[in-house]
Amino acid sequence: MSLDSYRTLGRSGLRVSPFALGAMNFGLAGGWGASVEESERILTTYLERGGNFVDTANFYTNGHSEAILGDFFAARPGLRERTVLATKFFGNLFPGDPNGGGAGRTAIRAQLEQSLRRLKTDYLDVYWLHNFDRHTPIDETLRTLDDLVSAGTIRYVGFSNTPAWYTAQAETIARLRSWAPVIALQVEYSLLARTVEGELVPLALDGGMGIMPWSPLAGGFLTGKYTRSGIGDSKRGAITGGPSEAQHEVIDVLAAIASEVGASPSAVALAWLSARPGVTAPILGPRRLEHLVSNLTAFDVQLSADQVDALTAVSRPQLNYPYDLNQATGAMLQFAGATVDGTSSSVYPPLLEDATRY
């Protein structure tokens, strides 16, 4: 597999690379990130290797990320049309202006105009709602986005970081009213962040939404630089104190399997994630070109079934109610010892005594 082994994004006709390039680190606002020159080297390498999916957001590096992308494509006529370009709305760049962010009609249109100006384009391929807006009716958000799809200003709609109940409500309303559907979800997902498997992943699988994991390397925790003997030179490690004991258990197994297959921990972690049900395109967020080149070696990783099982088992999340209850008792209560669709069950203990005495 390679970056030009394209996949359709959710239940849509949009073809995208199996890894998206995230531009959150493009720009130096805030004192960290990649310079314009390094950002362009990363972009060039990604696109030359067949990548076609570039993702950013309006407030990344205070808008500089979008501006870097806009200048890059403007200087290369014809390349923009071959690239799936996505950005997000929600973040407010105007302190004190209550309508500067969020998912209301006025805010969406204003944010879109600003993003299009910075990106130097007249349309977006995917426009993401970046967070849950509890202050705006969902129909207002959906109708506004549908109007923009009808106008051709955006092509597809995606949600990011939204609760499952809200996302399900939005998808149901959109389909009942024949509005533009939600074709994909951007969610935090990695070997160290699997709670999305409780509600959001089943929702995406049922609704035909592509899953795009962000932070697939858990902010660097899965790169191999974090060991029990130290945290390297990572800024995140210096702030957080490094991985917890439970996280180290996952990292230890990851490192062992990486050694077995002769690959980096990053590549193994990305290979495992790419093969998870429903995952379309994990988002790589390199700050340096070597990060991107290293991450793309994930295409060369071949994990055995035992290695996949080991990673899956050690990273298994503790999911909350009602997932835990359904997993523990669902098959036992409904199948009473039978096997259905490959799921076997035990017999509910009271039935072992006398199931017919009443």
Helices 245-261 and 305-314: crossing angle in degrees, nearest 10, is 170
**What is the mean pLDDT of the segment spanning 112-122?**
98
- Nearest CA among 205, 198, 227, 141 for reference residue 321: 198
**Across 86-90, 225-229, 334-338, which has the greatest mean pLDDT?**
86-90
Using an 8 Å Cβ cutoff, are 20 and 184 in contact? no
Which residues are catalytic, by number?
60
- The dihedral built from the CA positions of residue 129, 193, 264 and 32, taken in this order, carries a sign that is positive
**What is the mean pLDDT of the segment spanning 216-242?**
75
DSSP designation for 26? B
CA distance 248 to 281: 26
Q: What is the mean pLDDT of the chain?
A: 92
Residues forming a β-bridge with 182: 157
Which of the residue ranges 140-154, 224-238, 325-339 would you say has the lowest mean pLDDT? Answer: 224-238
Strands (E), the chain: 7-8, 15-16, 20-22, 53-55, 84-89, 124-129, 154-160, 182-188, 210-214, 283-284
Instruction: Output 236 or 181, whichever has higher pLDDT.
Output: 181
pLDDT score at 322: 84
The tokens describing 172, both together, are 């149901």
Taking only the tens place, the pLDDT of each residue in 92-103 is: 999 999 999 999
**What is the mean pLDDT of the segment spanning 262-272?**
97
Chain centroid to Cα 226, Å, comes to 23
What stretch of H or E contains 331?
helix 323-335
Task: Tell me phi and psi for residue 344, to 5 degrees.
Answer: -95, 160
Q: DSSP string covering 104-155, please?
A: SHHHHHHHHHHHHHHHT-S-EEEEEE-S--TTS-HHHHHHHHHHHHHHTSEE
Q: Please say if the pLDDT value at position 85 is more than 90.
A: yes
- Nearest CA among 58, 3, 69 for reference residue 34: 69
- Nearest CA among 52, 83, 64 for reference residue 25: 64
Distance set, CA 205 to CA 48, 163, 199 (Å): 32, 15, 10
Structural domains in the chain, CATH included, are 7-314 (3.20.20.100), 323-354 (no CATH)
pLDDT score at 53: 98
* pTM confidence score: 0.91
- The dihedral built from the CA positions of residue 226, 232, 236 and 240, taken in this order, carries a sign that is positive
**What is the mean pLDDT of the segment spanning 7-13?**
97
Strands (E), 181-313: 182-188, 210-214, 283-284
CA distance 154 to 73: 18
Residues forming a β-bridge with 159: 129, 185
Split at pLDDT 50, 70, 90, the class of 348 is: low
